Amino acid sequence: MAYLFTSESVSEGHPDKIADQISDALIDNFLAFDPDSKVACETLVTTGQVILAGEVKSETYLDVQQITREVIHKIGYTKSEYMFDASSCGVLSAIHEQSKDINQGVDRKSKEEQGAGDQGMMFGYATNETEDYMPLALNLSHKLLQELAALRRENNEITYLRPDAKSQVTLEYDDNNKPIRIDAIVISTQHDDFADEATMLAKIERDIKEILIPRIIKNNPQYAHLFNDAINYHINPTGIFVIGGPHGDTGLTGRKIIVDTYGGKGAHGGGAFSGKDPSKVDRSAAYATRHIAKNLVAAGVANEILVQVSYAIGVAKPMGIFIDTYGSSKVSLTNGEIAKKVESIFDMRPYFIEQRLKLRNPIYSETAAYGHMGRKPETVTKTFTAPSGEQKTMDVELFTWEKLDYVDEVKKAFGL
């Protein structure tokens, strides 16, 4: 039976995403100067104010105010009328030392026996309905806002955009679980003040339909067949959206975990990612399970796969690995038998995840908006500056968990 499925995304200027980006910028700076740093940093943003809180064990010192302001400036909060401005907002830090009780369960004499930073279960998911093995509704939701942000920065075709925005895409699937068309698109975008509300709403709707959507289709021709004249658009459905960002809503780290992952497809363990160094398995094991799921689907084990792993705090070896192929398996093995093979291919102890995916590098700022999964793995050059003036320039590999570097090994293990 045909059905509808919806996913949403939020822009880099959304209050919760501002918080995520600040927390991850701090992670990157700590790791750049001390790769062994243990960090859990939470951020709260509200009208004219940023509050940082968390626990750190590190050999380096950071100017957290400067880093915070640089993030806010890069996002685009640079005007006093936004009531949240990079140059004038207050930044309060309440970061303190990591608990020794927690640290004793993580750091060990042998790095290989490094314990999990917390208990919990983490999920990874992949599907072959898109080229990057991500759910299509989420993929489109992200692309709408990435393109809208590009239009805002170009400030050419659309000149009134402000940083805060949200999107939502509803797809219709056929009886074979294949997406056949876009049923609805919701876009709410913050904007400059207009003298006339009716004129404003008409212009925003026209610009979204005549400028943004054609750019999406042009840049993503593989999805062109999904767009149609019957799409139900809801563009700024509440009307005026001048007051936005942290002045409109308080933002907190870790409040957009479904946007960060699979848009409601698969499952989520509940732990946030941003603001956590890779000793926290909430983050590292979620990346590792995505890596597993993507390589399994790409190798042809199944059309769709969910991978779960679970840990006890301070214990290196996982409690167990669970696999669900949703009945789409292409191998003559049960889900339990597939899980056993996965255990033999991928070492899921925290230290080995960190090493396999190169997670002790400053690679996290790029993850903090538009999703941690489904992104393009690439090597970039980054430069970090310490309060002392010391600079560190390094090449780092982003989104290593998106690499299809285990496909051959998976095929061999499964006889594909």
What is the C-alpha separation between 73 and 170, in angstroms, rounded? 33
Q: Is 98 annotated as a binding residue?
A: yes
Q: Is 198 annotated as a binding residue?
A: no
Q: Which residues pair with 398 in a beta bridge?
A: 378
Helix (H, G, I), strand (E, B) or coil at 379: strand
Q: Are 272 and 253 in contact (CB under 8 A)?
A: yes
Q: Are 251 and 17 in contact (CB under 8 A)?
A: yes
Q: Is 165 annotated as a binding residue?
A: yes
Contacts of 38 (CB under 8 A, 6+ apart): 55, 56, 57, 58, 98, 103, 106, 117, 277, 279
- Of 9, 38, 16, 10, nearest to 26 by C-alpha is 38
Question: What is the torsional sign of CA 349, 350, 351, 354?
Answer: positive
Q: Is 255 annotated as a binding residue?
A: yes
- Of 286, 348, 292, nearest to 325 by C-alpha is 292
Q: Is 280 annotated as a binding residue?
A: yes
Q: DSSP code of 317?
A: S
Q: Is 174 annotated as a binding residue?
A: no
Q: Is 268 annotated as a binding residue?
A: no
* Four-CA torsion 22, 26, 32, 36, nearest 10 degrees: -140
Q: Is 340 annotated as a binding residue?
A: no
Q: Is 276 annotated as a binding residue?
A: yes
Number of H helices, E strands in the chain: 12, 13
What is the C-alpha separation between 294 and 404, in angstroms, rounded? 7
Helix (H, G, I), strand (E, B) or coil at 411: helix
Helix (H) or strand (E) holding 300: none
Q: Is 272 annotated as a binding residue?
A: yes
What is the C-alpha separation between 104 and 117, in angstroms, rounded? 10
Q: Is 14 annotated as a binding residue?
A: yes
Contacts of 36 (CB under 8 A, 6+ apart): 58, 59, 360
What is the C-alpha separation between 231 and 225, in angstroms, rounded? 12
Helix (H, G, I), strand (E, B) or coil at 304: strand
Q: Is 42 annotated as a binding residue?
A: yes
What angle (nearest 5°) sits at the alpha carbon of residue 399, between those of residues 137 and 12? 55
If one counts every other C-beta atom within 10 angstroms of the C-beta of residue 71, the result is 25
- Show binding-site residues: 14, 16, 42, 55, 98, 164-166, 249, 255-256, 272, 276, 280
- Show binding-site residues for L-methionine: 55, 98, 249, 280
- Show binding-site residues for ATP: 14, 164-166, 249, 255-256, 272, 276
- Show binding-site residues for Mg(2+): 16
- Show binding-site residues for K(+): 42
